[in-house]
Amino acid sequence: MKAGDELAPLEIPITRTLIVAGAVASRDYQDVHHDAEIAREKGSPDIFMNILTTNGLVGRYITDHFGPTARLRSVRIRLGAPNYPGDIMTLTGTVTAVEGEVAEVRVTGANGLGNHVTGTVRVAVPGRAGGES
Amino acid sequence: MNEADFLGRLKKFEGQPAATAGVGKDLVNEPMIRHWCEAMGDTHPAYTGPDAIAPPTMLQAWTMGGLSGHGDGTGRTSGYEELFELLDGAGFTSVVATDCEQEYVRDLRPGDRVSYDAVIETVSERKTTKLGTGHFVTTRMDVSVDGELAGTHRFRILKYAPAQRSSPGKGPGRAEGREAEQAPLRALRPRPVINRDNAGFWAGIAEHRLLIQRCEECAELRFPWLPGCNACGSGRWDTVGASGSGTVFSYVVMHHPPFPAFDPPYAVGLIELAEGVRIISNVVGVAADEVRIGMPVRLEFRRVDDELELPVFRAEVA
């Protein structure tokens, strides 16, 4: 692995089931993540994905790519356009730096409205020091 | 309370604890890990089996209040509650998370009992976003097991007053997903604040008349509406109707930031009426970048939504 490596994109269909399952699995019972009527009253067109689910999906995208030995060291994300039901989020990533067995990856998750998430993940990949592919 | 005083009250919360010696409601456990992995579609082998670790991105999940909220034992401080009450009370009732920054120091494994301490790092000045206007609140949490740091979690939320949206003919069960994107609900223009000092002006607008106040003592015209005369101080006044002709005295073209009810770029003009007073309004009927100082304009009334009509000024083509 080396700086400049691009990760294969991952398309994630944004379903109501994913939004609600992610919210519940993360213990987040904010109504805007499961109750469409209340979400509308609060100014959203629909329910939307919570940040913990986005965080989990970004983590999964990275470890899917780097394999069974990969361990997340840090995940830093910023949210933009919400993930509403019916949309598709496409995660893409580029390795921006490699130090020993730790890679830093710039991640973007784009949906039909724009960038849902941008962030940086550091991941340790034992046995995959910099320079090896 | 004005905005600066309010910000001063908010800033006092910076550095205060948001949670002290909170304890996770559940031990780190296999079922919650499995449910998480199912939801995320995460099949990483490290998260299953006898030596399983929890997905590091679950860090915050172990500290969540869940359905029963942050009651006893969760360490939530009164300061944090007071900050939220203050923001709620000022109309910033909605909340959305914007940033999450986590560092993972030590694996969490089934059986671990997490504890956590959190501090309010910053409360921002008032910001206007696409969602609405509000304040960003940033907290930093240290999550530990047996007194050993397991990870840190910095979290930023926006507490905001939602921008108003219209919802014509949209009941439950219709516009979903893509359809909603293609026909986004349109936010409404801000409502005018109508009070005793300006009610006559808005009553005039309802009748398609742009009324200017005139001092009954010295006959000075004034606009916008005020209780007393700038020239002589008299509180007695009547009105005259504007003829409707004017010129662009000055203008700006709004490109950024976007506000939900407005569609940039658009021209905001300071219009000098033929009567001599000036009014701020939109210049319409001409591209925003073609508005010029001195351009002749004529008053017209534009219905911007079901409840609001506004005076605007149409460029008069030479």
Peptide linkage before B17 cis (omega within 30 of 0): no
**Whole-number Å distance between alpha carbons of A26 and B102:** 15
CB contact set of B54 (below 8 Å; sequence gap of 6+): B28, B33, B36, B47, B62, B107, B108, B109, B110
Q: Enumerate the CATH 2.40.50.840 domain ranges in chain B, comma separated.
A: 244-318
Q: In the CATH hierarchy, which fold is given to the domain comprising B3-162?
A: Thiol Ester Dehydrase; Chain A (3.10.129)
Diameter over CA atoms, chain B: 91
B155-172, pLDDT tens digit by residue?
999 999 877 654 433 333
For chain B, percent of residues with pLDDT exceeding 90: 68
CA distance A103 to chain B (A): 14
CB contact set of B155 (below 8 Å; sequence gap of 6+): B60, B97, B99, B100, B101, B138, B139, B140, B141
CB contact under 8 A, A26 and B60: yes
Tell me the helix, strand and coil percentages in chain B, rounded to 5: 20, 35, 45
Q: What is the DSSP letter of B223?
A: S
Q: Which of A83, A89, A106 is nearest to A32 (CA)?
A: A83
B263 close to A (CB below 8 A):
no
Q: Which of A60, A107, A54, A124 is nearest to B44 (CA)?
A: A60
**Whole-number Å distance between alpha carbons of B60 and B97:** 13
Is the pLDDT at A102 greater than 80? The verdict is yes
Residue from the list A37, A59, A86 with its beta carbon closest to the beta carbon of B57: A59
**B244-318 under CATH 2.40.50.840, yes or no:** yes
Are the C-beta atoms of A20 and A33 separated by less than 8 Å?
Answer: yes
* Residue given tokens 């579609």 in the structure block: B41
B65 close to A (CB below 8 A):
yes
For chain B of 318 residues, list the mean pLDDT of each consecutive stretch of 10.
86 91 94 98 96 97 89 73 92 91 97 96 90 92 96 95 54 32 58 90 93 96 94 94 96 86 89 96 92 96 88 87
Chain B residue whose CA is closest to A50: B97
How many helices and strands (H and E) does chain B possess? 5, 14
Rounded to the nearest 5 degrees, what angle is found at the Cα of A9, between the Cα atoms of B44 and A66? 35
Q: How large is the ipTM?
A: 0.95
Measured between beta carbons, the chain A residues lying within 8 angstroms of B97 are 50-51, 79
Q: Enumerate the CATH 3.10.129.10 domain ranges in chain B, comma separated.
A: 3-162
CA B201 to chain centre: 28
Q: Which domains does chain A have, with CATH numbers?
A: 6-124 (3.10.129.10)
CA-CA-CA-CA torsion sign (A31, A35, A41, A44)? positive
B271-290, pLDDT tens digit by residue?
999 999 999 999 998 999 99
B175 close to A (CB below 8 A):
yes
Picking from B29, B57, B105 by the largest number of A CB atoms within 10 A of its own CB, the best residue to mutate is B57
CB contact under 8 A, B39 and A58: no
Residue from the list B41, B176, B177 with its beta carbon closest to the beta carbon of A60: B41
CB contact set of B79 (below 8 Å; sequence gap of 6+): B13, B16, B17, B18, B120
Residue from the list A46, A52, A63 with its beta carbon closest to the beta carbon of B60: A52
CA distance B81 to chain A (A): 17
Q: What is the pLDDT of residue B306?
A: 81
Q: What is the pLDDT of residue B73?
A: 63
